[in-house]
Amino acid sequence: MDTDYDEVSVEETLSRHRQILDRFCKDKKLNVVEVLEEVVSGESLAARPQMMRLLDLVSTGMYAGVVCMDIERLSRGSSMEAGYIMQIFQTNYCKIITPGKTFDLQNESDEQFTDMKFMFSRYELKTINKRLVRGRNQSASEGKFMGSMAPYGYRPYKLSGVKGNSLRIEPEEAKVVQMIYDMYGKQGMGYNAIAYALNDMHIPARKGQWSQTSIVNILTNEVYLGKIRWRREPVKKVVKDGFLAKTRILNDDYELYDGMHEPIITEEQWERARAVQAKYKNTSVHTQRELKNPFAGILFCEKCGAIMKRYLPHPKESPTAWYRCPTRGCDCKMIKCEVVENSIHEAMEDWLEKYILEIEADQQPKADPIAAALDAVRGQLAQLQLQQENICEYLEKGVYTIDMFTKRNASLTKEINQLQSTEADLLRQQSEGSQKRQATVQIIPTTQHILENYPILTVAEKNRLWKLVMRKATVYRSPENKLSIQIYPRLPK
Ligand SMILES: [Zn+2]
């Protein structure tokens, strides 16, 4: 397959590495004492004079670290030599600093990692690949276009005089991009509606027909602002439905550079699209990046107990998502996700309102037997303590003999001790009760938080919060279209 970008040459790679490391050292405020560059990449240490010099320097013990692109670059020879190199770094407390990671050989796990990487350093496949990616990143930071297919609205062209490619505006398509931004940002049309409209006007799409995805891609690509997007790790392994799948990460982990190409839209158009997007972040017709089912793991079929599946028909059949009972023979009919979501939201609102009233009633003082018992015990205690004071007075006034006083005082003291231990028991019970009540009350603010912020929560957030306040919910739509929804709030036992 032909790529649109140029092959990265060895010299170019080296000079890029130099630039990257320069910038890295400046950013990290590293005091660079000496720069060593090995032009020849010999197989053995002896054939790499700069490497020999490096080891001599490290051996003086005066260097905190060696900065290099890749740990693999320090060794090319046999694993024995690698071991030797590592030993010199370790005994001289010298770190190996790469833009990706700092290796401290005093740290055992780093040591093992370094060890292993050195051993495999001769097999450079991975490194070559990484180097190529890095070269491309550098090109991206210069504003060149790195992709293999130009975004809609642009055509790629080869830069003259320098290596690399950039983008040229394709006027007809640029008008369509403008139109899409206006339909979304100004006219408030959804992705699907825009796709339908464009197909209706017979405006040709890049491939086949306009779809929700192609519209989303245009509305979220900074390339139209004149930027170049660079993702650090474009592909990530993820486990999806029990299968290992490689997915493009569509999170915000990318860098933006000023492109060499002209923008098609204005900052204002871009910002307006962002604002609309933020507003509708909760609707299911959105990006494919996150979890889509707010009730993942907690929504069951009321009839058969199966976990309800979220089902998205082809957009031509139905523009909305449905919940479907997967059990063969179960007569539960499909229910629109939106309906389920609204109903559960409402049910939780009703429940919360009642629950708050219940809790408030429960917290009335009359309803607390422990508090009443405490009052009684404290009253008795006060009386006994008063009696104890009295007998002291009797003794002083000669009403009581010492013998009488001693006996009376002993019995009073015994009673007081008993009551005090009862009081302590009651206090313990009271604090346990209030802890439990606190756990009960905890569910209130969490539920309120979900209900109040619902429109601005992401689906993943909704799911996480629903799971906090609900053990499960069940739904059933009978063949006669009777809809039933039950919620099971998570209450402390
Ligand atoms: Zn069912």
Query: How does the average pLDDT of the chain come out, rounded?
Result: 78
CA distances from 253 to 229, 232, 235 (A): 10, 7, 12
Least confident of 55-59, 156-160, 351-355, 475-479: 55-59
Ligand 1 centre distance from Cα of residue 478 (Å)? 10
Ligand 1 centre distance from Cα of residue 483 (Å)? 13
Select from 279, 310, 342 the last residue of a domain. Answer: 279
Q: pLDDT tier at 130 (50, 70, 90 boundaries)?
A: low
The pTM assigned to this predicted structure is 0.34
Ligand 1 centre distance from Cα of residue 407 (Å)? 78
Select from 138, 165, 197 the last residue of a domain. Answer: 138
Ligand 1 centre distance from Cα of residue 475 (Å)? 9
> What's the confidence (pLDDT) of residue 123?
40
pLDDT at 77 over 80: no
Instruction: Give percent of the chain with pLDDT exceeding 70.
Output: 76
The answer to whether residue 469 sits within a structural domain is yes
Least confident of 163-172, 399-408, 482-491: 399-408
Ligand 1 centre distance from Cα of residue 299 (Å)? 11
Residue carrying structure tokens 């990616």: 133
One domain, residues 198 and 238? yes
How large is the average pLDDT for residues 475-484?
93
Q: Which residues have C-beta under 5 Å from ligand 1, the single-atom ion?
A: 301, 303-304, 306, 325, 327, 330, 332
Ligand 1 centre distance from Cα of residue 313 (Å)? 19
Q: How many structural domains comprise the chain?
A: 3
**How many C-beta atoms surround the C-beta of residue 322 within 10 A?**
19
First to last CA, the chain: 63
> What's the confidence (pLDDT) of residue 298?
93
Ligand 1 centre distance from Cα of residue 485 (Å)? 13
Distance from C-alpha of 230 to C-alpha of 235, rounded to nearest angstrom: 12
- Which is more confident, 456 or 137? 456
pLDDT at 466 over 80: yes
Q: pLDDT tier at 171 (50, 70, 90 boundaries)?
A: very high
One domain, residues 118 and 182? no
Ligand 1 centre distance from Cα of residue 472 (Å)? 15
Q: pLDDT tier at 473 (50, 70, 90 boundaries)?
A: very high
How large is the average pLDDT for residues 218-245?
65
Give me 107's structure tokens.
Answer: 């740290």
How large is the average pLDDT for residues 213-230?
87
Q: Which amino acid is at 156?
A: P
How large is the average pLDDT for residues 393-412?
84
- Angle, helices 212-219 vs 191-200, to 10°: value is 110
The answer to whether residue 147 sits within a structural domain is no
**How many C-beta atoms surround the C-beta of residue 113 within 10 A?**
15
One domain, residues 301 and 392? yes
> What's the confidence (pLDDT) of residue 196?
86
One domain, residues 133 and 169? no
One domain, residues 228 and 317? no
How large is the average pLDDT for residues 240-249?
42
One domain, residues 299 and 446? yes
Ligand 1 centre distance from Cα of residue 328 (Å)? 8
The answer to whether residue 2 sits within a structural domain is no
The answer to whether residue 146 sits within a structural domain is no
Contacts 24+ apart (CB under 8 A), 273-280: 273/181, 273/184, 273/185, 273/219, 275/185, 276/184, 276/185, 276/188, 277/219, 277/220, 278/456, 279/455, 280/190
One domain, residues 126 and 16? yes
CB 176 within 8 A of CB 203: yes
Q: pLDDT tier at 118 (50, 70, 90 boundaries)?
A: low
Instruction: Give tens-digit pLDDT for 288-320.
Output: 445 789 999 999 999 999 999 998 877 777 778
Contacts 24+ apart (CB under 8 A), 148-152: 148/3, 148/4, 148/5, 149/4, 151/217, 151/218, 151/221, 151/223, 151/224, 152/176, 152/177, 152/205, 152/206, 152/214, 152/218
Task: Write out the residue range of the structural domain in which residue 93 sits.
Answer: 10-138
One domain, residues 354 and 472? yes
* CATH number, residue 218: 3.90.1750.20
How large is the average pLDDT for residues 371-381?
84
How large is the average pLDDT for residues 326-332?
91
Ligand 1 centre distance from Cα of residue 296 (Å)? 16
Distance from C-alpha of 114 to C-alpha of 70, rounded to nearest angstrom: 11
Burial tier of 424 (Cβ tally within 10 Å: 0-12, 13-18, 19+) = exposed
Select from 110, 138, 166 the last residue of a domain. Answer: 138
Ligand 1 centre distance from Cα of residue 344 (Å)? 18
User: H or E element: which one contains 489?
Assistant: strand 483-489
> What's the confidence (pLDDT) of residue 437?
64
Ligand 1 centre distance from Cα of residue 473 (Å)? 13
The answer to whether residue 74 sits within a structural domain is yes
Beta partners for 244?
239
> What's the confidence (pLDDT) of residue 182?
92
Q: pLDDT tier at 440 (50, 70, 90 boundaries)?
A: low
Ligand 1 centre distance from Cα of residue 297 (Å)? 15
One domain, residues 86 and 161? no
Distance from C-alpha of 181 to C-alpha of 218, rounded to nearest angstrom: 8
Ligand 1 centre distance from Cα of residue 333 (Å)? 9
One domain, residues 191 and 329? no
User: Listing from the earlier edge strand, what are the strands of the sheet with 299-301?
Assistant: 299-301, 470-477, 483-489
* DSSP character at residue 30: -
- Which is more confident, 262 or 398? 262
One domain, residues 338 and 424? yes
> What's the confidence (pLDDT) of residue 64?
85
Least confident of 91-100, 104-113, 137-146, 264-273: 104-113
Distance from C-alpha of 25 to C-alpha of 38, rounded to nearest angstrom: 19
Q: Which of 276, 282, 281, 284 is nearest to 318 (CA)?
A: 284
pLDDT at 198 over 60: yes
One domain, residues 315 and 426? yes
Q: pLDDT tier at 6 (50, 70, 90 boundaries)?
A: very low
How large is the average pLDDT for residues 87-110?
77
Ligand 1 centre distance from Cα of residue 300 (Å)? 8
User: Listing from the earlier edge strand, what are the strands of the sheet with 102-103?
Assistant: 65-67, 95-97, 102-103
**Given CA atoms 31, 33, 39, 45 in this order, what sign does their dihedral have?**
negative
Distance from C-alpha of 303 to C-alpha of 475, rounded to nearest angstrom: 8
The answer to whether residue 145 sits within a structural domain is no
Ligand 1 centre distance from Cα of residue 486 (Å)? 14
Ligand 1 centre distance from Cα of residue 324 (Å)? 8
Ligand 1 centre distance from Cα of residue 335 (Å)? 12
> What's the confidence (pLDDT) of residue 250?
43
CB 334 within 8 A of CB 478: no
pLDDT at 136 over 90: no
* CATH number, residue 128: 3.40.50.1390
Q: pLDDT tier at 47 (50, 70, 90 boundaries)?
A: low
Ligand 1 centre distance from Cα of residue 305 (Å)? 6
The answer to whether residue 370 sits within a structural domain is yes
The answer to whether residue 285 sits within a structural domain is no
DSSP string, 227-279: EEEEES--EEEEEETTEEEEEE--SS-EEEEE-SSPPSS-HHHHHHHHHHHHH
Residue carrying structure tokens 């002896």: 46
Ligand 1 centre distance from Cα of residue 474 (Å)? 10
Ligand 1 centre distance from Cα of residue 283 (Å)? 26
> What's the confidence (pLDDT) of residue 242?
40
Ligand 1 centre distance from Cα of residue 317 (Å)? 23
How large is the average pLDDT for residues 74-87?
62
Residue carrying structure tokens 């004492």: 33
